[in-house]
């Protein structure tokens, strides 16, 4: 019984790690809406079945996994037009954020990445 509760906790927690990642990076380009909607539907139906069956542990499990999936659907819709973001990333002279593994800026023809320029720092210096 205790193993089941631990498993439920781990399962639910795994979704919240995904939610936290999306929150940090606003990265939803690769997340599929149909996948998450079907997941939420399936989990939701099983939640109802668990309620009918009067199974507490099954009901808790279903609620704890359905909720975060619904949150992720909300995040996908909310961040649909957002671009990748990380506080550690540099910015190009064209003001777009440069992702860590990029070797050149896809938005302009500059050589910022090649030359390792840090426009954030330059901007701060020019304000001084």
Residues in region 13-52 near Zn ion by CB under 5 A: none
Give the DSSP H or E segment for 97: strand 97-98
6: left (phi over 0), alpha (psi -120 to 50) or beta: alpha
**C-beta of 5 vs 107, nearer to Zn ion:** 107
Residue 97: what are its φ and ψ, rounded to 5°? -75, 135
Q: How many other β-carbons are positioned within 10 Å of the β-carbon of residue 16?
A: 15
Site string for Zn ion, 85-124 (x = CB under 5 A): -------xxx----------x-xx-x-x------------
**C-beta of 39 vs 92, nearer to Zn ion:** 92
Give the residues lining the site for Zn ion (CB under 5 A): 92-94, 105, 107-108, 110, 112
């Amino acid at each position: 019984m205790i193993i089941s509760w631990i498993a439920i906790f781990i399962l639910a927690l795994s979704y919240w790690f995904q939610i936290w990642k999306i929150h940090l990076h606003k990265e939803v380009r690769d997340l599929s809406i149909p996948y998450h909607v079907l997941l939420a539907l399936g989990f939701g139906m099983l939640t109802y079945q668990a309620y009918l069956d009067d199974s507490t542990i099954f009901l808790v499990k279903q609620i704890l996994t359905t909720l975060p999936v619904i949150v992720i659907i909300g995040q996908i819709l909310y961040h649909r037009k957002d671009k990748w973001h990380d506080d550690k990333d540099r910015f190009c002279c064209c003001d777009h954020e440069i992702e860590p593994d990029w070797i050149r800026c896809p938005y302009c023809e500059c050589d910022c990445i090649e030359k390792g320029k840090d426009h954030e720092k330059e901007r701060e210096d020019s304000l001084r």
